[in-house]
Amino acid sequence: AQSVTQPDIHITVSEGASLELRCNYSYGATPYLFWYVQSPGQGLQLLLKYFSGDTLVQGIKGFEAEFKRSQSSFNLRKPSVHWSDAAEYFCAVVGGGGNKLTFGTGTQLKVEL
């Protein structure tokens, strides 16, 4: 069965600092991977996704993620965090042809001014 691990429950960074949120997945074949962001009281918004091809994926709001098959990872990065990036971030995985998107437990990002 597919699964996702986000080892960091909370992360605090200073505005302007770089950010990396970790995501490890478990899936037997090539997975389809997603990062979503959830602001308080809101639904989930897609930041980026990986299906195939270039392992470095660019998303909205200046985010990027890199798929590393050897490490079963899909970490999310941003070179310079803005106060408005404070939110909860979810990594998710689905197997090719499947429809059951499995989410990690989320990482709550706090940005210090």
Partner 1 sequence: DAGVIQSPRHEVTEMGQEVTLRCKPISGHNSLFWYRQTMMRGLELLIYFNNNVPIDDSGMPEDRFSAKMPNASFSTLKIQPSEPRDSAVYFCASSPQAGPGSGNTIYFGEGSWLTVV
**Least CB distance from residue 101 to partner 1, whole Å?**
5
Look up residue 69 and give its DSSP letter: G
According to DSSP, the β-strands at 10-14 and 107-112 are parallel
Q: Which stretch binds partner 1 (CB under 8 A): 19-27, 30-38, 57-65, 70-78?
A: 30-38
Within 82-111, which residues bind partner 1 (CB under 8 A)? 90, 94-106
Contacts of 12 (CB under 8 A, 6+ apart): 109, 110, 111, 112
Backbone angles phi, psi at 70, to 5 degrees: -65, -25
Within 47-66, which residues bind partner 1 (CB under 8 A)? 49, 51
By the rule CB under 8 A, 32 interacts with partner 1: yes
Residue reference for tokens 């909370």: 10
* Residue from 1, 43, 70, 113 in contact with partner 1 (CB under 8 A): 43
Look up residue 41 and give its DSSP letter: T
**Least CB distance from residue 14 to partner 1, whole Å?**
27
